Amino acid sequence: MKILHLCDSLNPAGLGGYESYLHYLSEQLSRRGHESLVVAQTSREDMPDYIIHDHYRVQYLPGNLLEAKKWKFYALPNDEQEQAAVQMFGRDDLELNIEALRDQLLGVIQENKPDIIHAHSTYVVFNRVLMNLRHDGRLNNIPILATIHGRPKPLILPDGKRTTDYDEFLDACPFELILGVSDNVTEVLRNGLHEKGIVTQVRTCYLGINLSIFAPRPLTPKKWDITFMGRLEKMKAVDLFPEMLSILKRDFPTLRFLMTGEGSLRESILEQFNKKEVSALVEYPGVVDVEKVPDLINQSRIFIYPSREEPFGLSILEAMACAVPVITTNVYGPSEIITQNNDGMMVSPDNVKELSDSIRFLLQHEDLRTAMGNNGRKTVESRFDIEMHTEKLVSIYKSLIHTKKMG
């Protein structure tokens, strides 16, 4: 099969759950003889037309460069964004972008002739592009499905409209099937579809981890006591880290904390590390290559992921697969992964004392860290193996293609 994976956006820094997911999924599909093409909007004005990876190609479509302007806007300091928005965006930018992308995507489809289109969290742009193409009869023979990787988030469109990404997704929903990455995401989607009177099947399809890449390395020395890898955004609760380290420093004055990633809170967090006098405990290399992630996890005693809101938690699975104990929050996706005090620990969101106490407890009990890490590995092996996930996804693809041909 030829699969066209479609994303409204890929982070230019290479961050994010579904960027990593598509990287490893494409490898699995390639091993089974299937071809993957990932198509996304251009996220930088100097972005090449395409990037070739070992098992897939990413093709960037410029549209009217709205996506590139969005990422440039996000890079501005918060106090400059409101004034810059007026200058950077026009009220009709979204409509012009969809119009431009319609022809660009149609050209890609006609050239590559995919058997199926798999959209990933196309909340605003490509869902409307696909709707327009389907309405014009240009996609009648190609099944389209979507995977939703996130929970509803507030959104402001270029014309000033305040909405949510889910509302925009449901306003243009040309999909035969929608997959949620967790039961929670699936439930919210079903409720939204029901409220709008849309009859589209929704089911949960948990993502998977490559267990040969994310694997324990028992002889690897532990360099860091605590590690966080993810986006430096409020949703991930990274603003708790300075106070967390200040609390832990009293008992562990030589503690080592690794924080990787990029995001809008980067400068403020680094500044707070200085104010709390914990900068000496922190190593911050910025964004790291995806290939380095398993090495870094295996050099860690504890992996933390204290999100305030998390639809699933691929990073949690990556650490569990490496037999590194995880401390996360008891919300949404993580609560569907972790069994408390067995294969991980969960704390209340926004509770820096609970988080610090749990870290202290694990640092003081090596035998428990080992047992919890081993149990985490077993959980991922039994429930979140990317081999099983890929087989399930290929079966879904084939069923949708067969149904389309018969219909």
- pLDDT value at residue 326: 98
Alpha-carbon distance of 206 to 137, in angstroms, equals 32
Q: Is the pLDDT at 15 greater than 60, yes or no?
A: no
Q: Which two tokens stand for residue 109?
A: 């489809």
Do 385 and 28 form a contact (C-beta atoms < 8 A)?
Answer: no
| Average pLDDT of span 357-376 | 98
Q: Which residue has the tokens 């509302």?
A: 167
Q: CATH for 2-208+386-406?
A: 3.40.50.2000
Q: Which residue has the tokens 């469109």?
A: 157
Question: What residue type is assigned to position 157 of the chain?
Answer: L
pLDDT band at 402 (very low <50, low <70, confident <90, very high): very high
The residues, ordered by sequence, that sit 6+ positions from 306 with a Cβ below 8 Å of its Cβ are 236, 237, 240, 327, 328, 329, 347, 349, 355
The model's pLDDT over 269-295, given as tens digits with 9 standing for 90+, comes to: 999 999 999 999 999 999 888 889 999
Least confident span in 66-75, 253-262, 310-319, 387-396: 66-75
Neighbours of 25 (CB within 10 A): 25
Q: Phi first, then psi: what are they for 327, rounded to 5°?
A: -115, 120
Say yes or no: domain 224-383 is CATH 3.40.50.2000. Answer: yes
Q: Is the pLDDT at 61 greater than 90, yes or no?
A: yes
More confident residue, 406 or 238: 238
Q: Return mean pLDDT, the chain.
A: 94
Q: Is the pLDDT at 154 greater than 80, yes or no?
A: yes
- pLDDT value at residue 81: 77
- pLDDT value at residue 291: 85
pLDDT band at 339 (very low <50, low <70, confident <90, very high): very high
pLDDT band at 138 (very low <50, low <70, confident <90, very high): very high
- pLDDT value at residue 6: 97
More confident residue, 89 or 181: 181
| Average pLDDT of span 202-206 | 97
- pLDDT value at residue 170: 96
**What is the value of pTM for the model shown?**
0.90
| Average pLDDT of span 379-396 | 97
Alpha-carbon distance of 404 to 130, in angstroms, equals 16
- pLDDT value at residue 13: 62
- pLDDT value at residue 226: 98
- pLDDT value at residue 12: 66
pLDDT band at 260 (very low <50, low <70, confident <90, very high): very high
Q: Rounded to the nearest 5 degrees, what angle is found at the Cα of 194, between the Cα atoms of 128 and 156?
A: 45
Beta-bridge mates of residue 303: 227, 326
Q: Where in the chain is the domain with CATH 3.40.50.2000?
A: 2-208+386-406, 224-383
Question: What residue type is assigned to position 84 of the chain?
Answer: A
- pLDDT value at residue 229: 95
pLDDT band at 77 (very low <50, low <70, confident <90, very high): confident
Q: Is the pLDDT at 14 greater than 70, yes or no?
A: no
- pLDDT value at residue 16: 61
pLDDT band at 73 (very low <50, low <70, confident <90, very high): confident
Q: Is the pLDDT at 355 greater than 80, yes or no?
A: yes
| Average pLDDT of span 135-151 | 94
| Average pLDDT of span 241-245 | 98
In percent, the amount of the chain with pLDDT more than 70 equals 99
Q: Is the pLDDT at 99 greater than 90, yes or no?
A: yes
Q: Classify 327 as helix, strand or coil.
A: strand
